[in-house]
Structure 1
Amino acid sequence: MSENKNFLTIKENGSNELIIKKSKFIASMARTTTIEEAEDFIKTISKKYHDATHNTYAYTIGLNDDHVKASDNGEPSGTAGIPELKALQLMNLKNVTVVVTRYFGGIKLGAGGLIRAYSNSVTEAAQAIGVIKRVMQDEIIFSLPYNRFDEVDHYLKGKNIFVDKIEYGVDITIHVFLDEADVQAFIDEMIELLNGKFDYLNGEKRYNEIPILTQNYHEQ
């Protein structure tokens, strides 16, 4: 698995329901980082909907799709699990498991209809839950006098810089996170803004989660 690589995943665990020609499709999704977590989630959902006609699933683990698996769970071969996996991959989602539960409504969908139903179940569930970008960022910690806060606050908001924490003491101490490529430009701009009086510390490196508001996932 690549370390410190930015990637897309779902915002949180959740589910979404579709009715297609009287069949109920429930897509349950979870963030999973190991095969064991994925398999446990599949078992939990399958037990929850033990009376369903099918509990199909797909998962992708690892930032390079290192471990993938798909199951049709009794649906015609290739009409459920693989379309679900392809839907995850088309959205560029990583470390996600989906179980799509079907309660048969009496009307057969045909192979093409099933593929569309299972694929759409995954896509619509992910969009309903929300997609985020996990971004590896560097923390910069700096202090400034109260009379400089408004202009710095205006600058930070204008640049959409993630402010993690503000501490009010003798001075104001601000903790911000930036992509590594943006750190030097930020420092240079702060030096200019504060007339050369900019002292800072390097804090931790960590993943932060940024909401994705577009559906052009491959451009992220």
Structure 2
Amino acid sequence: MSKRESYRVIIENGTGEIVEKKSRFIANVFSVESQQQAEEIIAKISKEYWDARHNCYAYVIGVNGENTKCSDNGEPSGTAGKPILEVINGAGVTNTLIIVTRYFGGVLLGTGGLVRAYTQSAQAALASSEIGEMVLARKLTLKVNYNMINNVQYYLSQNEINISDSRYEADVEFDICVKENDVSRITDGLTQKCEGQITIIEGDKDYYLL
């Protein structure tokens, strides 16, 4: 199975809250890398909001979203966990956990009301999060002498490529990540820009935040 070109993840966690007929729905979004990490956060939030009526959640983990789970945590079946999961899938993000805590306000919302409340609170939290794209790319290390620094930086800027790390020693080394399809074009362009006075070392092909 070939790797997908990119996937979306949470870069900065977010929160959201709505009130529906006196019930408070507090949603928290977390970036997670494993099921164990997700379960630990769920346990922590459940302890933090120990006095809440429900702590419902859903998570999607894996490049292809292969690991999913949702829980209604005592709400009527399908009214909480599934709507939260649908918000995650609708946003096209993975490695994401959303927990919605409900403080009961004394008024029953009914099935439709619960679905709307859990959906809207999860959407609000996701909207306050920062989402980034992990792209299948090649890491390149650029090695040049000091009089070529401006040439390299100018070329990278023109091609909207960020420098992920820099090392200033006898020579200067820059680490960059380039989409696999662009590697030949970028390496040729850098070689030309530096008049051949550059060494380019190809590193691992992996997912990087570009």
Name the TM-score, length of structure 2 as normaliser: 0.86
Aligned to 2:155: 155
Tell me the matched-pair count: 210
The amino acid of 1:111's aligned partner reads: T
The change in CA–CA distance for 1:190 and 1:96 in structure 2 (over 3 A counts) is same
**Pairing 1:180–2:180 present:** yes
SS of residue paired to 2:123: helix
2:14 and 2:127 in contact (8 A); partners too: no
In 2, Cα distance between equivalents of 1:162 and 1:33: 24
2:61 and 2:67 in contact (8 A); partners too: yes
In 1, Cα distance between equivalents of 2:2 and 2:39: 22
Q: Which runs of 5+ in 2 are unaligned?
A: none
In 2, Cα distance between equivalents of 1:35 and 1:171: 43
Aligned to 1:125: 125
Aligned positions of 1:45-194 closer than 5 A: 45-194=45-194
Provide the identity percentage. 38
In 2, Cα distance between equivalents of 1:2 and 1:115: 36
Name the TM-score, length of structure 1 as normaliser: 0.82
Q: Which runs of 5+ in 1 are unaligned?
A: 211-220
Q: Which moved more, 1:131-140 or 1:88-97?
A: 131-140
In 1, Cα distance between equivalents of 2:55 and 2:2: 31
SS of residue paired to 1:25: strand
- Please list the CA deviations of residues 102-145 of structure 1 after superposition, one character each: whole Å capped at 9, or x if unmatched: 11234443332321221122222122121122233322122233
1:80 and 1:118 in contact (8 A); partners too: yes
In 1, Cα distance between equivalents of 2:35 and 2:143: 44
Aligned to 1:208: 208
Q: How big is the shift at 1:156? A: 0.9
2:135 and 2:179 in contact (8 A); partners too: yes
The change in CA–CA distance for 1:170 and 1:36 in structure 2 (over 3 A counts) is closer
